[in-house]
Structure 1
Amino acid sequence: MGYNYAWLLSASFIDLRLTNAVFQVSVALVYVASVQLFGEAVCVERLLGVMLSLAGSFLASGLRWDDGRSTGPRHQLQVVGFALALSAAVGYTAYQVLFRWIFGHLKQNASFLAHFFSWISLWHLLIVLPLVLAAHVAGIERLQLPHGLFALLGTGVSAMIASTVNVLYLCIAHASAKCHCGPECCC
C-alpha cells in the first residue's frame, strides 16, 4: 500500500507519464537486487532489456520537466513528485525482492496459488479495508464506491488485472528460481 500511495501522490505533483517513467526504475533496481541477493547472471541480454525498459518508459513520458533554472514553487513540487515516484519504485522493488525471498521455495507447490490468493483476500479484508475506512472517517481520503455500469466493469477489470499481476509474480519467482545460468548463457 505504501508504494502505491507514493505513486498516486507523485502523480498529483508531476505528470502521470513522468511518474510512470520514474517508477520504471524499479526494473533496474530489481535486477541489481536479484544479482546481489539471488546470484542471477549478469549478461548482455538482461542488461539490454533493463536499458530498453528504462529508455522506452522515459521516451513515452515525453520527458516533461521544467528547465534547471527554475527554483520556484512549481519546481519544488516537481522535485517532491519525482522523489515520491522514486520512493514508490524502491518500495515496489522491496516488495518484489521480499516476495521472491519468502515464496521462492514454494515454486513446485501446485496448491500454493490457491493459498496465495486466499491469503491476499484475507489481508485485504482484515487490514486494507479497515485502513481505507479509517482514512475515510479521518478525512484523509474520500471513499467512493463504484456505481454505474462503466465503473463496475472498470473495477472488475482492475481486479482481474491485479490477480494476473499476482500470478505473474509467482511465475517470475518460479522461473527465476529454476534458472541456473552460468557466465556463458542468459535465460
Structure 2
Amino acid sequence: MRYLKVFAQDTTGVGRADTVVLEFYQSAQGIQDSLVNQAVAYDFPTDGKIDYSRGDVTNDGRESRLDKLLLDKFASTYLKLNWFNPGKASTRYMKIFSEDFYKDGTPDTVRLHVQEGTGDIDSHTLVAWNAAYDFDNDQVLEWNIHFDINHDGVIDDIDRRLVHRLAELYLLFSWHEPETFEVKVLDIPAS
C-alpha cells in the first residue's frame, strides 16, 4: 500500500503553520513502512500563499514545473485545515491513501485520515476521517464524506470543498498502486 503523510508546522511560533511537509510511504505486509520521497512547501509570512517549495510530488523521478504547481496548490489548501504542530513536531498529521474497489487499476476512493499521536504508528489516534468517491469509475470524484476538516467548529460546504480539493490533488500525485491481475496461461494441447 502507498500512502502520503502530511505535516503542517508552525516553526516561527506565530500560531499559524508556515511549513507543509509531504512524506510518500510504501508499506508491505510484515515489513516496516519505508519513506520513498519527500517534498516541502513554505509560507514564510503565514499569509496562506506558498513562497517556496521543492520536491517531486508526481513521483516520476524529476522535479518539474508541474510538481511545483501541484505542491503549491496542495500545500496552500492544507494550510486551511488549521491542523498543525508547534515547531518541528510531527504528532498532528493527515494520512492520505486511495483504494481500488473495482480492481481495475484506477483509484475510486481517496481517504483522508486526520491523526494525532506519538511513538509507533499503531499508537496514533484517528481524530477524524474524510473520503472522496468515484462511484461510476470514470476517474472523477463525484461525492465525499466530510466532517469538520478545517477545525472551525462547523461542518459545511467549505469542508466539502477542502476534502474534494485535497483528494483530487492527491490523485494527481500518482501515488497509488494499480491492481495487479494474475494472468493464467492455459496449457492447451496442439491439435
TM over 0.5, shorter chain: no
Identify the structure with the greater helix proportion.
Answer: 1
Q: Rg: which structure is higher?
A: 1
Higher RCO (C-alpha under 8 Å, 6+ residues apart): 1
Normalising by structure 2, what TM-score?
A: 0.31
Normalising by structure 1, what TM-score?
A: 0.32
Identify the structure with the greater strand proportion.
Answer: 2
